[in-house]
Structure 1
Amino acid sequence: MRSMKVQDYMNRYPLKFKRTMPIEEAVAMLVSTQQTGGPVVDEQGHVVGFLSEQDCLASMLKDTYHKEQTATVEDCMHAEVLTVNGDMAILDLAQQLGNQKPKLYPVIDYGGSLIGVISRTDVLRAIDLHLKDSYRNR
Structure 2
Amino acid sequence: MSMTVDNVMTREVAPVSAATSFKDVATALVSGGVGAAPVLDGDRHVIGMISEADLLHKEQFREQHFGESYRPPPRSLLRHRASRRKASGETAADLMTSPPITITAGKSAVDAARLMDAHDVNQLAVVDYNGRLVGIVSRRDLVRLFLRGDEQIAADVRDDILRRALWMDTSGVQVKVSEGIVTLYGRMDRRSETALAIRATGRVNGVVGVVGELSWERDDVTPASARRGARS
Establish whether TM, by shorter chain, passes 0.5: yes
Where 2:120 maps in the other structure, the secondary structure is: coil
Q: CA deviation at 1:93?
A: 2.0
Asked if the contact 1:59/1:71 (under 8 Å) is kept, the reply is no
In structure 1, runs of 5+ residues without a counterpart are none
Tell me which of 90, 100, 124 is aligned to 2:143: 124
Aligned to 2:98: 79
Aligned to 2:80: none
Asked if the contact 1:90/1:126 (under 8 Å) is kept, the reply is no
User: What is the rounded CA distance, in whole Å, between the counterparts of 2:120 and 2:150 in structure 1?
Assistant: 24
Aligned to 1:36: 35
Bigger CA drift: 90-99 or 28-37?
90-99
Q: Deviations over 1:72-122 (max 9, x none)?
A: 111111112110000001122233344463111000001110000001111
In structure 2, runs of 5+ residues without a counterpart are 67-87, 159-174, 176-232
User: What is the rounded CA distance, in whole Å, between the counterparts of 1:10 and 1:53 in structure 2?
Assistant: 19
Aligned to 1:112: 131
Asked if the contact 1:59/1:76 (under 8 Å) is kept, the reply is no
Alignment of 1:1-138 (within 5 A): 1-2=1-2, 4-59=3-58, 71-99=90-118, 101-129=120-148, 133-136=152-155, 138=175
Q: Highest Rg: 1 or 2?
A: 2
RMSD (Å) for aligned C-alpha atoms: 2.6
Q: Deviations over 1:26-54 (max 9, x none)?
A: 11222223321111011100000011112
| TM-score after normalising by structure 1 | 0.81
User: What is the rounded CA distance, in whole Å, between the counterparts of 2:23 and 2:8 in structure 1?
Assistant: 30
Where 1:15 maps in the other structure, the secondary structure is: coil
Return the structure number with greater relative CO, CA threshold 8 A, min gap 6. 1
Where 2:112 maps in the other structure, the secondary structure is: helix
| TM-score after normalising by structure 2 | 0.51
User: What is the rounded CA distance, in whole Å, between the counterparts of 1:131 and 1:119 in structure 2?
Assistant: 24
User: What is the rounded CA distance, in whole Å, between the counterparts of 2:117 and 2:96 in structure 1?
Assistant: 24
Identity across matched positions, percent: 26
Asked if the contact 2:11/2:134 (under 8 Å) is kept, the reply is yes
Q: CA deviation at 1:70?
A: 7.3
User: What is the rounded CA distance, in whole Å, between the counterparts of 1:35 and 1:87 in structure 2?
Assistant: 22
**Alignment-mate amino acid for residue 129 of structure 2:** Y
Q: CA deviation at 1:61?
A: 6.2
CA 46–133 in structure 1, closer or farther in 2 if over 3 Å, else same = same
